[in-house]
Amino acid sequence: MRKDNINKVSIVTSILFLGVASVIQMINELAFHFFNRGGLKEALSGMPGATIGFFEAHGLASIWVIYFIAKFRQRAYVETHVFASAVHFLLGTANSIFWNDSFVRFDMIMIGWISTILHFVLVMLHLISLKIKKRN
Amino acid sequence: MKTSKLIIRIHGTFLILATISLTVVGWISYCCGKGLYGDMLLKEPIGYIGLFQGYLLMTTIGITLWAVSFGDNPDKFHWLGIGAHIAPFAANFIFWTEIENYGIPHSGIFFHLAMMILEAFGVLKSNQLKNFQFDEKR
């Protein structure tokens, strides 16, 4: 029972975390681009080009969320764990590499710590779930 | 080889090669202010963070497509192939002025559109729409 909980909790947490974060960020990026408003106004002021990559990245993250939801509904847990761990590892690593250019520069260190730790915790949870699934 | 599988494998391979190349090109622009994104990243280095994440997320989609093309029934992955291009394709139009101002070519539009058309052809070849209609009638 507990093993099955880890399996589902890790996938649902990934879907919620990536889904909510990517959608909110995309709305923020569009609000900044079209109306010069939203949470990114101060951070990206005078840097209109910087939004291009963020918009693409958050769009792709939301495509992954749709994929995870589809696979979760099909009970294809192994595939979901493999790809979710890869996605979280990539995003957590990107946070770490660009720590100074992003979180420090924009004085968002707390958000940086929370999101980066959450990415790596989810990598661990997905890998543990994968190991449990393979063992069964 | 089934046309559907071939399309997914070609698309996956293309995505892996293109996105890794663009990550390297972007890194050179980020570090040295030269290359495709040189002008933009010299003035707005933070722009590389999103590009780095976006390109490598696309690489993971490329690896997924490439891997499933060896499986028995990869037909539904055409939708992932189409979906992956929506945000970058839309970004080309939403950020048209910025892309133009920094002298970045609009050729991305052609590649995104070509890959979406290729995957749409894969959907038609794999008879998914026909099967869907059949199920609806039932």
Q: What is the pLDDT of residues B1-17, one digit of tens each?
A: 688 899 999 999 999 99
Q: Which of B58, B84, B94 sits opposite A55 (nearest CB)?
A: B94
Contact at CB, A102 and B46, closer than 8 angstroms? yes
In this complex, is the C-beta atom of A101 within 8 Å of any C-beta atom belonging to chain B? yes
Q: What is the pLDDT of residues A68-111, one digit of tens each?
A: 999 999 888 898 999 999 999 999 999 999 998 888 888 889 99
pLDDT at A18 over 70: yes
DSSP A123: H
Identify all chain A residues contacting B80, using CB atoms and an 8 Å cutoff: 63, 67
b/e code B65-101 from CB counts within 10 Å (16+ = b): bbbbbeeeebbebbbbbbbbbebbbebbebbeebbee
DSSP A101: I
Q: What is the pLDDT of residues B56-94, one digit of tens each?
A: 999 999 999 999 999 888 888 999 999 999 999 999 999
Confidence of residue B138 (pLDDT cuts 50, 70, 90): very low
